[in-house]
Amino acid sequence: MEKKHILLLIFSFFVLNPIAGANDDCLPASCSSSDPEIRFPFRILGQQPDRCGFPGFDLSCDGQNQTILQLSSSLSYIVNSISYLEQVIYIDPEFCRPNRIVSVNVTETPFSYSNFFMQSYTFYNCSQNYSSMYPDVPFPCLSSGNHSVIAMLTGSVYPGYVPPNCKVMKSVVLPVRPNGDISVALELMWFTPYCKTCEREGKACELKTDDEQTICVSSRRKGISRSAKYGLGIGMSVLALICISGLACYVSSKVQGHNDSHNQSIDTSPVANIPQQPNSGTGLDGRTIESYPKTVFGESSQSPNVDATCVICLFDYKLKESLRTIPQCNHCFHAECIDEWLKLNKTCLVCAGTHRKVRHWLHLAVKHY
Ligand SMILES: *[C@@H]1O[C@H](CO)[C@@H](O)[C@H](O)[C@H]1NC(C)=O
Ligand SMILES: *[C@@H]1O[C@H](CO)[C@@H](O)[C@H](O)[C@H]1NC(C)=O
Ligand SMILES: *[C@@H]1O[C@H](CO)[C@@H](O)[C@H](O)[C@H]1NC(C)=O
Ligand SMILES: *[C@@H]1O[C@H](CO)[C@@H](O)[C@H](O)[C@H]1NC(C)=O
Ligand SMILES: *[C@@H]1O[C@H](CO)[C@@H](O)[C@H](O)[C@H]1NC(C)=O
């Protein structure tokens, strides 16, 4: 294996492994592929558990797979989009649906209007030949046959003004929109929970279990099941362990080579530095390691338990390479590979390859690159 491949694998380990620990039930969901992604503080009722959302942020899917926000017992709106970074949800005012010319009211919801200025708008039902000299918003969706429906700011001309050939339908109170076009999506903001920092860092926000505080966790990915993630995490850990071992072996054999020819200090190698770290007290001392039987591959026919490959670096043993055997279990490795391990661990890598130890070693080894 080439060194850059090894480093690439180590990199993927560190990028991929955090997902193994994420809170897997709260994966993002959506009502359909074209609908907004739903994640904390929102959740889809019946699809994502309670704790995946924040109180008051429940959404649902309707019969047409549209995302629905219920603002009051009688009023629900279709959600157009959600900006998690800006903490804004865009809802369709839906004036075109029957009996939907009503005021939006966000009191008793977690939301506020992004524009604090409210205005009264009046809807008019006009005959086709109406003429308005004042700005109006046409609603072709409500118009039919010989009648057009328009909306105008109430009292924009003078109180009680009705355009010629028009009849007043209804007045509603709405937040002012940028260009006065009340048919465009309505922006609702929320301030609590505050997740903008998490979002900016590409992390996910979630509810702490004990109170209503939020915390940032590593980002969740869609479409990988909990067990698959766990398996992937462990798989990557093992792969990374093997790779780092290989790299350690490779580097130390290089250093050994340098030593032989240039008489350089072994300390110049970052890998060789590991045993000098304060944490290294967990392993065996040099004298104990040296007391373990060492053989030269190919020279002794009685080399115990010699497999063709060193499980640490995954390179085949070659003639004249030094091997070391752990007497308690007779497992054999390249001497330079197992020596690095034993400086940090008292037990055989194969026998006691517990997750924690593997991780610990990995952590130490990687810190030095
Ligand atoms: C809604 O989505 C489900 C599955 O995603 C699909 O089977 C169903 O046909 C969709 N319904 C509509 C009205 O699009
Ligand atoms: C909104 O609803 C609250 C009660 O929930 C009410 O007191 C308030 O007057 C309503 N505001 C508007 C503009 O209708
Ligand atoms: C507008 O008025 C006409 C005639 O009065 C009526 O037929 C039509 O349904 C009205 N349109 C709306 C949207 O109320
Ligand atoms: C507009 O329609 C009304 C009846 O709805 C009619 O009396 C009037 O003459 C029409 N005006 C024009 C300019 O067509
Ligand atoms: C529109 O008005 C014209 C005459 O004023 C009438 O002939 C026509 O049937 C009307 N159309 C509809 C759809 O009501």
3-state SS record for the chain: CCHHHHHHHHHHHHHHHHHHHCCHHHCCECCCCCCCCECCCCEECCCCCHHHCCCCCEEEECCCCCEEEECCCCCEEEEEEEECCCCEEEEECCCCCCCCCCCCCCCCCCEEECCCCEEEEEEEEEECCCCCCCCCEECHHHCECCEEEEEEECCCCCCCCCCCCEEEEEEEEEECCCCCCCCCCEEEEECCCCCHHHHHCCCEEEECCCCCCEEEECCCCCCCCHHHHHHHHHHHHHHHHHHHHHHHHHHHHHHHHHHHHHCCCHHHCCCCCHHHCHHHHHCCCHHHHHHCCEEECCCCCCCCCCCCECCCCCCECCCCCEEEEECCCCEEEEHHHHHHHHCCCCCCCCCCCCHHHHHHHHHHHHHCC
Query: Which of 67, 75, 26, 65 minimizes the C-alpha distance to 48?
Result: 26
* Residue 9 main-chain phi, psi, to 5 deg: -70, -40
Q: How far is the CA of 105 from the centre of ligand 2 (A)?
A: 6
Q: What is the pLDDT of residues 23-53, one digit of tens each?
A: 457 889 999 999 999 999 999 999 999 888 9
- With b meaning 16 or more CB within 10 Å and e meaning fewer, what string describes 142-164? beeeeebbbbbbbebeeeeeebe
Q: How far is the CA of 65 from the centre of ligand 1 (A)?
A: 6
87, pLDDT greater than 80? yes
Q: What is the pLDDT of residue 237?
A: 58
Residue having the nearest C-alpha atom to atom 10 of ligand 5: 146
- Does residue 144 line the site of ligand 5, with CB under 6 A? no
Query: Which of 226, 243, 355, 245 minimizes the C-alpha distance to 12?
Result: 243
pTM above 0.85, yes or no: no
200, pLDDT greater than 80? yes
Tokens 């939301």 label which residue?
111
306, pLDDT greater than 60? no
Q: What is the pLDDT of residue 221?
A: 52
Query: Which of 253, 272, 259 minimizes the C-alpha distance to 334?
Result: 253
Mean pLDDT is lowest, of 53-62, 291-300, 352-361, for 352-361
Q: What is the pLDDT of residue 59?
A: 96
320, pLDDT greater than 80? yes
Mean pLDDT of 253-269: 43
CATH H-level superfamily of 240-368 = Zinc/RING finger domain, C3HC4 (zinc finger) (3.30.40.10)
- Does residue 145 line the site of ligand 5, with CB under 6 A? yes
Q: How far is the CA of 78 from the centre of ligand 3 (A)?
A: 25
Q: What is the pLDDT of residue 1?
A: 46
| % of residues, the chain, pLDDT over 90 | 27
Band (pLDDT 50/70/90 cuts) for residue 218 is confident
Instruction: State how far the Cα of 123 lies from the Cα of 101, in Å rounded to an integer.
Output: 8
Q: How much is the mean pLDDT over the chain?
A: 75
Q: Which residues are CB-neighbours of 255 under 8 A, at least 6 positions away?
A: 264, 266, 268, 269, 271, 272
From the CA of 119, the nearest ligand is 2
Tell me the one-letter amino acid at 219.
Answer: S
Q: What is the pLDDT of residue 256?
A: 53
Mean pLDDT is lowest, of 31-45, 295-309, 349-363, for 349-363
Residue having the nearest C-alpha atom to atom 8 of ligand 4: 129
State which of 47, 65, 68 you would mutate to test the pocket of ligand 1, scoring each by most atoms of that ligand within 8 A of its C-beta.
65
Task: Assess contact for 244 and 366: CB atoms under 8 A.
Answer: yes
- Does residue 32 line the site of ligand 1, with CB under 6 A? yes
